[in-house]
Amino acid sequence: MSYILASPCILHPNLRAEGITTSEDIVVFCRCIERCREAGIEIVTLPCPETLFFGEGRAPGCFKDRMDFPEFYELLDRLEENVRKLIEQRGEAPLFILGVNSSPTCGVTKTYYTNEKSNGAGVFLKRFADFPMIDVKEFAKYQVYFAAPLFSEAERSFNRRAADILEELHFHIHLPQELDDDEEARGDNREKAIYEGNLKALKAADIVVAVIDGADADSGTAWEMGYAMASNKRVIALRTDFRHFSKNECVNLMLEMESEVVHSLDELKDLLKFY
């Protein structure tokens, strides 16, 4: 089974310093755990240097004030050796390391090395820079709404192919064409149910991937992109059509300005993969 190494406080928030864990943090941790469960990824927890050094119930503090001592560096040396032995025993590297930004030891891109938050990994995770790393808040954003025209066999086949690629990256995909949205279903006056089902998924989505091929974007797709943009969701526009609407526009200025535009499924995969 594929596995990741994760900061232990993701599974055990009580290991964090007192008073820093919010209800939002708990939601993020739970979503990360659920994403791994859905994808069949085993979570292997890293040791917590701060808990081992101070015990549980410690006060918050930066590395320079509370941990910049020879004894703590010796602990980090031992823990790094143990983790690398674990990786060797498993016979394969972890897919990635899941860290928690701001942590003096387990931050990924932000850390409290001093009393001012700074860029860079925490002092423990930076020892594993040879592995991909991702922060919990980024990894927790895995619900994708795939907005695209779905009215021909070619369109539906392309949509399914794109969804397969995203599912391989462990995203959870809502594909409207799989909501019984076809000519027969619409003939049974199910339009309201289809609309409400898609809207519910759109509201729940973290990311919207929208296909904007053609001389002009599909009207339903354009509506979904506008809703997502107004809701401050991340929007990725997939334009594989080589034609240009104008000198500076692939298809439509209003759809492109607030989205990240990619031009192939390979580009889409590169944009969203984290390992």
pLDDT 10s digits, 146-205: 999 998 999 999 999 999 999 999 999 999 998 765 556 555 567 888 899 999 999 999
Using 50, 70 and 90 to split pLDDT, how confident is the model at 11? very high
Question: 238 and 244 in contact (C-beta within 8 Å)?
Answer: no
Question: In order of start, what are the domains of the chain with their CATH numbers?
Answer: 3-139 (no CATH), 143-272 (3.40.50.450)
Phi (first) and psi of residue 85, to 5 degrees: -65, -40
Which two tokens mark 235?
A: 């929007």
Residue for token pair 């860079």: 120
140: pLDDT strictly greater than 90: yes
Does pLDDT of 38 surpass 80?
yes
DSSP letter at 102? B
Residue with tokens 């969804």: 163
CA nearest to 156, candidates 146, 165, 166: 146
- Tell me the pLDDT tens digit for each residue of 206-246: 999 999 998 888 999 999 999 999 999 999 999 998 877 66
Q: Where in 91-233 does DSSP place strands (E)?
A: 97-99, 110-111, 118-119, 133-135, 143-147, 172-174, 207-211
